[in-house]
Structure 1
Amino acid sequence: MLLAGLDIGTTGCKITIYDKKGIYQNRFYNDNPVSRNTNGHEIDAENIWQGVKKVIKSAAHEYPDISAIGVTSFGETCVLLDDKDEPIRNAMLYTDPRGTDECGELIAKLGKRKITRISGVSPHSMYSLPKVMWIKKHFPDEYERTRHILMMEDYIIYMLTGKTVIDYSLATRSMGFDINKLTWSDEIFSAAGINKNLFSEPITSGTIAGVIRKDIVEEFGLNVNVFVVPVGHDQVAAAVGSGMIDSGCAVDGAGTVECITPVFDKLPEFKIMENSGYAIIPYLFPDKYVTYAFLFTGGALVSWYINNLAKAEKLEAKRLNKSVYDVLEKQMKDEPTGILILPHFAGAATPYMDENSKGAIVGLTLEHSTSDLYRAMMEGIVYEMRLNLEKLQQAGIYIKKLRATGGGATSQVWMQMKADILGLPVTSLDNTEAGAAGCVMMAGIATGVFKDLKHAAKRMIKERCTFYPRKEQHNAYMKYYEKYKELYKAVRPLV
């Protein structure tokens, strides 16, 4: 018996295979093309479906005994299907500017506070509902032809099984889900003028949606009765795959986007969450929630630096047959650089939610080196995340320990820096693909392979190393952090 995790992202989809003992077997990947221009940011849902079919076929060729597939995806983006189950138009990504006016109309009808208290998210055009409102206003004929409105997780589940179900965490990314009643909000949908029955039925994460259709199973070359399990939004899947069960725990997804996802067990102070753009997402268990403290440019900022400013180090790394990251980190001093970097190179996420904010580098001197600037990039990212954690504390959400996954978790220098600045023990996990692991864990629990989440975590999650905060380094960083807290207010009026 084999288990699979299907992870659908904006740039590609992948399926990862594990055996029933939780041992990794293999992974298969396919790219997704994205279209971006001044008028909009879109993705072709049909291409995503074909990509999913491709990776499942590749996996089935080598592993025909897959018995269950857990599914996770990126959020917000939704697909409009006609009566032939074909996409009516390209799907708008969360970064697409369309829907801003419609979001404003919804706020004018209901008020920002009411929408937040019902949906758990502060109103924003990135969510699904304002974009569907935009389509209805500008292309009413397309809306009239629509028979299903599906987000990526339930779109793929529908194409695989014929069932229209969506887990609570992904439903929350629509801005029309009631996190208190765990169902679609009649009040919000009525104000939006959108038929809620076009959306999938909300269900608990980890519930079996159905089995893959017989004709698809035969096309893939899989055995019969392959169960499909919705796992949720990709950040929720990463939290599951990192073993996040109890309140006070959090996972740091150190990937392209830096995202800390804490678990908590009572509704926080709404005013803080609303004003800072923090979502309240139902988690796996009754009365448990997660939120996202995130930065658009985590690993993306480090990659930008490597690609544009570390050309000599790249050549040196090639000569030594080493990673360019190893070359730069070897040159570093284990102390604050004195450089302050505002890491808003792609706008500001929480707690500002300011898409027009710009990056800044302050405090450079002739004594600084390229490795100092590289380290300062890391510092700026961690300073921003500490600022987020302090804001969450004001809402009553406290983090006692952090688990790190993603590519950034492989850097011992960065992990120790995070422990020192955040003042928390940081444990890097052996598996950097936490989302895939989370999908497999939930699929295994749903089909009885694992008894519960603790059993699955014991089988599948391996800790690599724990980094503890060092008092002297923490105090040194805090002197610069106090200055960093004023950086956004100082820079923003200028750009």
Structure 2
Amino acid sequence: MKKYLLGIDNGGTFSKAALFDLDGNQIGVSSKQTEIITPKSGYTERDMNLLWEANYKSIKEVIENSKVDPKYIMGVSISGHGKGLYMIGEDDNPIIYNGIVSTDTRAWEYVEKWNQDGTSDKVFKKTFQSIMACQPVALLAWFKDNKPEVLEKVKWIFSVKDYVRYMLTGEAYAEYTDFSGGNLVNMITKEYDEELLSYFGIEDLIDKLPKLKYSAEICGHITKEAALKTGLLEGTPVAGGMFDIDACGIATGMVDEEQLCMIAGTWSINEYISKTPVTDKSVALNSMFCMPGYYLIEESSPTSAGNLEWVIQNMLDGYLKESEKENVSIYDVINKKVGSIEPKDSDVIFLPFLNGSNEDALGRGTFIGMTSYHTKAHLARAVYEGVVFSHMSHLNKLFKNREKPNRIRISGGAANSNEWVQIFADVIQIPIEVVEDKELGAQGAAMTAGIAVGAYESYKEAAERTVKISKTVYPRAEYKEIYERKYGAYRKVVDSLKDTWKHLAIEN
């Protein structure tokens, strides 16, 4: 009988479960939204009970709808957004605080202090990465000063996928790709480091960090309770899983040092792998990749296609009505409008910092250069271009440490738009390969489950068998100069606003 693998993916707002056959064909997918709670500006949280409910309902639904007998599901694995913080207490009262999502910026002052007092330099020698406000180390320091009563109840400190795996298996583990990307692991020793944690003032929490596992290690089996909720068979093996950027990288075939991958979703992810880390501080993050022996070299920020959703809801409501009238997707309408404006005819600049910034912890989104001449179509095109320019800022840092690739592979929401992908190609002036449209975070997790249970011998074999490129979009040389000028203007706007953002933060 045909065998299957189940991948689970938890992003910033949705929990998804997808079932794949061993050739990477997506048999079915189910997703459930979890509400983002914003009690204060800069806070982004979610109810952990509802998060678990979204996960088990998604799993149950995809199994039922696909009509696959769960006895043919060989294994399960999970990917999830990195950074953020998910803490649980003792079994009689496990939920002690909301989960914190990777767009949370409440701890920005800690990062600023550590950058000024030399802490970040000491940290970098052990982790090869900058400190971010949304990383667990910054959030834990914030809790220690602001809500110490929460930390007193903590039994385990998890990433989002570790929490979901714990609910499926009842076993507590951390996993290298997530924790090494959160300044929690000494990248030289590959272990927790009490001295490292002391730099953040959280060394007393070291016993609350679970045992570290690799992505393709078995980290437990589906419990009887989880089986009843999900429809999976009790005893089904569950692999460690990975940070979603690793999962998407693997699912796009990033299994050698030539490949460079972009993910244009809520986050702008720009990454490649190397056998040696970048230690000159020219990139924001080195972490352990899911393939043992490789580092993930990453430039990322929450500045990508997720900005479009806010703009649709708050500024492009007329397009919603138009899409309903024409019985087409709102995205089809916006793509058509963006395509109707030539790059040279739109000089509005959009900074895609609605959910965070890759320029300044206090950076905010804005449109610059609007006049009464400009229409919603100009604003939509500015959003598309601003997102690409933010990716370009990240790529330029990566290109200082490696040669430009012959191709770049793209995934995420923006990859579904021909117009958007063409802008990526024209700005970067490198051909863009679009990976076949499916749930890549879940697929990467499923590939890992396959390795863990012996369906594939390696990540390379899994990629060769499952990754499919749907199209290649080539850059147009005639737009090179236009976009160089526009990107230069974008950079000048960003640089000119840094003092303003700090002033606004102080005022508030």
Query: After TM superposition, is the score higher than 0.5?
Result: yes
- The aligned amino acid for 1:202 is L
- Tell me if structure 1 keeps the 8 A contact 2:60–2:230: yes
Structure 2 distance, partners of 1:106, 1:82, is 32
1:131–1:294 distance in 2 versus 1, CA, 3 Å: closer
1:306-455 alignment to 2 at 5 Å?
306-330=312-336, 332-346=340-354, 349-350=357-358, 352-362=359-369, 364=370, 368-396=374-402, 398-455=404-461
Post-superposition offset of 1:401:
2.2
What is residue 56 of structure 1 aligned with on the other side?
59
What is residue 72 of structure 1 aligned with on the other side?
79
What is residue 153 of structure 2 aligned with on the other side?
145
Q: Secondary structure at the match of 2:166?
A: helix
What is residue 195 of structure 1 aligned with on the other side?
205
Structure 2 distance, partners of 1:486, 1:208, is 49
- The aligned amino acid for 1:74 is H
- Tell me if structure 2 keeps the 8 A contact 1:3–1:440: yes
Post-superposition offset of 1:3:
0.8
Q: Secondary structure at the match of 2:152?
A: helix
Q: Secondary structure at the match of 2:257?
A: coil
Post-superposition offset of 1:16:
0.5
Post-superposition offset of 1:427:
0.9
- Tell me if structure 2 keeps the 8 A contact 1:42–1:91: yes
Structure 1 distance, partners of 2:286, 2:224, is 38
- The aligned amino acid for 1:198 is K
Describe the superposition over 1:22-69 as per-residue Cα deviations: whole angstroms up to 9, x where unpaired.
Answer: 221111222223321227433222222232222233344443232211
What is residue 30 of structure 1 aligned with on the other side?
32
Post-superposition offset of 1:7:
1.0
Structure 2 distance, partners of 1:391, 1:122, is 14
Post-superposition offset of 1:252:
1.9
Describe the superposition over 1:256-275 as per-residue Cα deviations: whole angstroms up to 9, x where unpaired.
Answer: 333223333322143323xx
What is residue 259 of structure 1 aligned with on the other side?
269
Instruction: Report which stretch shifted further, 92-101 or 263-272.
Output: 92-101
Structure 2 distance, partners of 1:345, 1:99, is 17
1:337–1:441 distance in 2 versus 1, CA, 3 Å: farther
Structure 1 distance, partners of 2:107, 2:314, is 34
Instruction: Report which stretch shifted further, 128-137 or 9-18.
Output: 128-137
Post-superposition offset of 1:4:
0.4
What is residue 475 of structure 1 aligned with on the other side?
481
Structure 2 length normalisation: TM-score?
Answer: 0.87
Structure 2 distance, partners of 1:129, 1:491, is 28
- Tell me if structure 1 keeps the 8 A contact 2:305–2:387: no
Structure 2 distance, partners of 1:397, 1:86, is 48
**What RMSD in Å do the two structures reach over aligned CA positions?**
2.8
What is residue 47 of structure 2 aligned with on the other side?
44
- Tell me if structure 1 keeps the 8 A contact 2:26–2:438: no
What is residue 239 of structure 1 aligned with on the other side?
249
Post-superposition offset of 1:339:
1.1
Structure 1 length normalisation: TM-score?
Answer: 0.89
Post-superposition offset of 1:465:
0.8
Structure 2 distance, partners of 1:42, 1:487, is 31
Structure 1 distance, partners of 2:207, 2:416, is 45
1:102-181 alignment to 2 at 5 Å?
111-181=119-189
* % identical equivalent positions: 24
Describe the superposition over 1:439-473 as per-residue Cα deviations: whole angstroms up to 9, x where unpaired.
Answer: 11111121122232233223322211101122222
Instruction: Report which stretch shifted further, 432-441 or 21-30.
Output: 21-30
Structure 2 distance, partners of 1:377, 1:97, is 22
List gaps (5 residues or longer) in structure 2.
502-508
List gaps (5 residues or longer) in structure 1.
none
Describe the superposition over 1:216-241 as per-residue Cα deviations: whole angstroms up to 9, x where unpaired.
Answer: 33554433431111221111111111
- Tell me if structure 2 keeps the 8 A contact 1:243–1:457: yes
Instruction: Report which stretch shifted further, 414-423 or 257-266.
Output: 257-266
- The aligned amino acid for 2:55 is V
Q: Secondary structure at the match of 2:215?
A: coil
Instruction: Report which stretch shifted further, 396-405 or 110-119.
Output: 396-405
Describe the superposition over 1:284-320 as per-residue Cα deviations: whole angstroms up to 9, x where unpaired.
Answer: 2344222433343422333344344445544444343
Post-superposition offset of 1:348:
5.1
Post-superposition offset of 1:170:
0.6
Q: Secondary structure at the match of 1:194?
A: helix
What is residue 259 of structure 2 aligned with on the other side?
249
- Tell me if structure 1 keeps the 8 A contact 2:90–2:153: yes
- Tell me if structure 2 keeps the 8 A contact 1:337–1:376: no
Structure 1 distance, partners of 2:132, 2:318, is 42
1:433–1:59 distance in 2 versus 1, CA, 3 Å: closer
